Amino acid sequence: MDAVARFCGEEFVILLPETTREGALAVAQRVLDQIDVRAIPHQTSDVASHVTASIGIALQIPDRNSSSALLLENADKALYRAKRAGRHQAVMYAE
């Protein structure tokens, strides 16, 4: 079952079990598109006149060596790559 939850402060996590890389990217793009449609004003932003989102995507095929901490760490790395690349975009984690 897919799930969305506030993770920490301004961060959210979207869990998409049994979702492909392409599926995860499609969900991320829909999130960005819906944020653009709503265009919630953000007067103090240096990025845009409305609220934006930076999205980090990480995939993991569970096995006995899997670590939820590593999955989260990889998603966080991708998130910060998205922020450094200009924000309001999705970046897939790649080693």
* Active site amino acids: 10
**Tokens at residue 76, please?**
């966080």
Cβ pair 28, 62 in contact under 8 A: no
Exposure class string for 24-50: b at 16+ Cβ within 10 A, else e:
bbebbeebbeebeeeeeeeeeeeeeee
Sign of CA dihedral 18, 21, 22, 26: positive
